[in-house]
Structure 1
Amino acid sequence: MAEKPEPVRVLYCGVCGLPAEYCEFGSEFEKCKPWLIQNAPNLYPDLLKESNAKEADNVSDQLQSTSISSGGSSTSKPEEVKRLPGGKTKKKEKQEVVIEKVVRNKRKCITTVKGLDLFGIKLGDAAKKLGKKFATGASVVKGPTEKEQVDVQGDIAYDIVEFITEAWPDVPETAIFFIEDGRKVPAA
């Protein structure tokens, strides 16, 4: 007599609701990681290794900070590094505003402003202020690198540095750059 097959038991993620094997393809994988480490460590062994490595880094950072505060060696803290899935590392972005003029149809210009969000400025508010100040259309769009930027209609590069430093005092003039002939040129 043939054996009766058992039904397949599927473990669903408690965070995103997807089967645990498919969490990495969902939009909330970063939020799912702690749940997966605790409830399904055999599915993602790399996550377990990564969490153990982070714990080891935290312990070493604590030891290093206590030795610094107790009068030990005065080593400078290394640059912030973000870990991406797969073990790759990403350095923290420099805080700078990049302004570029793009010509289209031989006469019309669009001025793009990148990097305002790195100074804690909401791009929607910045687009609204720039549009009012220069009496033109301005919107927040995704650039070619999937980062959001503000596009302003017209060539406003002549007054924009002054306006940015007045409207948002947190942005120093030394952190503003223009793209001219493919090169980054400081505005100051």
Structure 2
Amino acid sequence: MAQVLYCDICTLPIEFCSFTKTLPKCKKWLQSTHPAIYDSLYESGETNASSSLSAEKEQKIEESLAKMQLKEQRKQERALKSLQNEKIQIRRIPRTKHKAVCVVGNLGVLNTAVPSDGQPSEPVDLKKLAKRMASKFATGASVDNKTDEIVIQGDVGPGVEELLQGVLKEKGLLGVVGIEHVLEKNFLKPVKKQPK
């Protein structure tokens, strides 16, 4: 039984790489890892394909593939740029006159950002991080999985920033992901004291 060789770039069998948007990367990978297979597949395959297809059709196919590859490359660049611009937000939201909650938002960046060394790290479990924060600050902390936020009771902004910098350092994301403080205004109207 013949073994099927899968591409590390597009994860398809190498015969189907020509139908993907990542064809140049796939060719480079195949040439560097399996040069004999690359020669048999692309060097001899190009001469056979040119005889069966007309020159115009072949040119149209190459142009459309080039457009698709360019779009894919730009899409990946935009995604990388947006990840670099994202920051973890620490918001202090007043609840009542003297009480406040601290909301640590945009924590999904911890799991999607690529460390500076290029090696992907383990994803951050938000429940464990919330428990760690709750035990450190001796307060309540809960996770909102829909928005990737941790809500901490009390005004613990500077302590949260130190803890998050430690987590970023552990994951190798210290220079990649930033931390930003956001102050939100109290939406409660001030109570006017009436003279007696």
Give the TM interval when normalised to the shorter protein: 0.3 to 0.5
Return the structure number with greater relative CO, CA threshold 8 A, min gap 6. 2
> Computing the radius of gyration over CA atoms, which structure comes out larger, 1 or 2?
2
Structure with more helix by fraction: 2
| TM-score normalized with structure 2 length | 0.46
Scaled by the length of structure 1, what TM-score is found? 0.48
